[in-house]
């Protein structure tokens, strides 16, 4: 039985990953920011731990509890926990940017480093970062999230080089639009941290609000969360996991355009997408 630690399991991709892997016989340790979000998973027999990625004490506590539940062996870490902070870059305060990075980057990597040390002791392991198409290209009014995913991509690419020969494999999963609570959570962060009345971008924010609150998929080619889990299963089960896994047509498209288009031409395409 492989032991799999998954962050961000309250809803969406993390919840879907926890339930599917549990059904397939893996021992899943699912983390949630608040234990009140864990009731459905616990009813299925899945072990849930409270974990706030912005809090070092919470990270260390959850990691140690995970080891107890997993007989001191974590075979797979799926770094899924993250959120998106919308807003024009010039409207993002230092504290707001810090909050985005505390969860999406600093906390994620702090947990990963703890797991790597354990994997070195046991002689094997697989780590998958749930990145984004926005770790490949940037869209306007998503600057904090773009930057956090670019940072994760850089850390993962570096770790892959540093862990050569260790039998610890690093993979990036890069989804485009996926059915989840991501937009609802992002809208809450927008309301909390952005004052559009004082912004040069207030007219654009009106359109962004409509997109974030739109019912149903807000973008073409949106896939269900299990499309990401399919890639995670390959990370876990393949003899040779891939370095990158694209999910959804937009990821394939933009990764290709970034390779073949001149920078200004790509900017033109991305500006049209950002305005939609």
**pLDDT tens digit sequence for 16-50:** 999 999 999 999 999 999 999 999 999 999 999 99
Give Cα 221 to chain centroid, integer Å.
19
* Angle subtended by helix axes 263-275 and 249-260, to nearest 10: 150
pLDDT at site 206 = 92
pLDDT at site 219 = 82
pLDDT at site 275 = 66
pLDDT at site 220 = 84
Residues involved in catalysis: 145
Residue ranges for the chain with pLDDT beneath 70: 275-276
CB-based burial of residue 274 (10 Å sphere; 0-12 exposed, 13-18 middle, 19+ buried)? Answer: middle
Whole-angstrom Cα distance, residue 7 to residue 32?
Answer: 7
Task: With CA atoms as reference, report the closest residue to 12 among 82, 103, 75.
Answer: 82
Q: Which residues are within 8 A (CB) of 156 and not within 5 positions of it... i.e. 6 or more apart?
A: 129, 131, 170, 171, 172
Whole-angstrom Cα distance, residue 256 to residue 261?
Answer: 8
- Give, in degrees to the nearest 5, the angle at Cα 156 between 151 and 160: 150
Q: How many angstroms separate the first and last alpha carbons of the chain?
A: 46
pLDDT digits (tens, 9 = 90+) for 91-124: 999 999 999 999 999 999 999 999 999 999 999 9
pLDDT at site 274 = 82
Whole-angstrom Cα distance, residue 14 to residue 229?
Answer: 9
pLDDT at site 216 = 80
CB-based burial of residue 84 (10 Å sphere; 0-12 exposed, 13-18 middle, 19+ buried)? Answer: buried
**Block residue for tokens 């690093």:** 170
**Is the distance from CB of 13 to CB of 82 less than 8 angstroms?**
no
Integer angstrom CA distances of residue 262 from 173, 259, 267: 25, 8, 9
DSSP code for 196? G
Helix ranges (H only) for 140-201 are 143-162, 182-193
- Give, in degrees to the nearest 5, the angle at Cα 132 between 128 and 136: 110
SS3 221: coil
Helix ranges (H only) for the chain are 12-23, 39-43, 56-69, 94-101, 108-122, 143-162, 182-193, 202-213, 226-237, 249-260, 263-275
* Bridge partner list, 175: 247
Whole-angstrom Cα distance, residue 253 to residue 258?
Answer: 9
Q: Which residues are within 8 A (CB) of 1 and not within 5 positions of it... i.e. 6 or more apart?
A: 25, 26, 27
């Amino acid at each position: 039985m492989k032991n799999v630690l998954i962050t961000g399991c309250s809803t969406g991709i993390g919840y879907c990953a926890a339930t599917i892997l549990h059904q397939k016989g893996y021992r899943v340790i699912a983390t949630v920011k608040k234990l009140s979000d864990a009731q459905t998973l616990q009813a299925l027999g899945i072990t849930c731990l409270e974990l706030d990625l912005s809090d070092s004490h919470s990270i260390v506590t959850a990691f140690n509890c995970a080891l107890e539940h997993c007989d001191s062996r974590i075979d797979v870490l799926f770094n899924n926990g993250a959120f998106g902070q919308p807003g024009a870059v010039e409207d993002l305060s230092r504290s707001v940017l810090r909050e985005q990075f505390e969860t999406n980057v600093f906390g994620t990597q702090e947990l990963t480093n703890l797991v790597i040390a354990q994997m070195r002791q046991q002689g094997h392991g697989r780590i998958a970062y749930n990145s984004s198409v926005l770790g490949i290209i940037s869209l306007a009014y998503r600057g904090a999230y773009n930057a956090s995913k670019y940072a994760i991509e850089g850390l993962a690419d570096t770790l892959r080089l540093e862990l050569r020969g260790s039998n610890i494999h690093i993979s990036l999963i890069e989804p485009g639009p996926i059915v989840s609570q991501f937009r609802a959570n992002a809208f809450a962060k927008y309301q909390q941290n952005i004052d559009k009345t004082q912004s040069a971008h207030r007219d654009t924010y009106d359109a962004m609000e409509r997109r974030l609150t739109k019912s149903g998929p807000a973008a073409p080619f949106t896939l269900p969360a299990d499309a990401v889990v399919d890639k995670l299963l390959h990370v876990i089960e393949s003899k040779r996991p891939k370095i990158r896994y694209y999910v959804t047509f937009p990821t394939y498209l933009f990764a290709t355009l970034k390779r073949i288009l001149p920078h200004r031409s790509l900017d033109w395409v991305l500006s049209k997408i950002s305005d939609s």
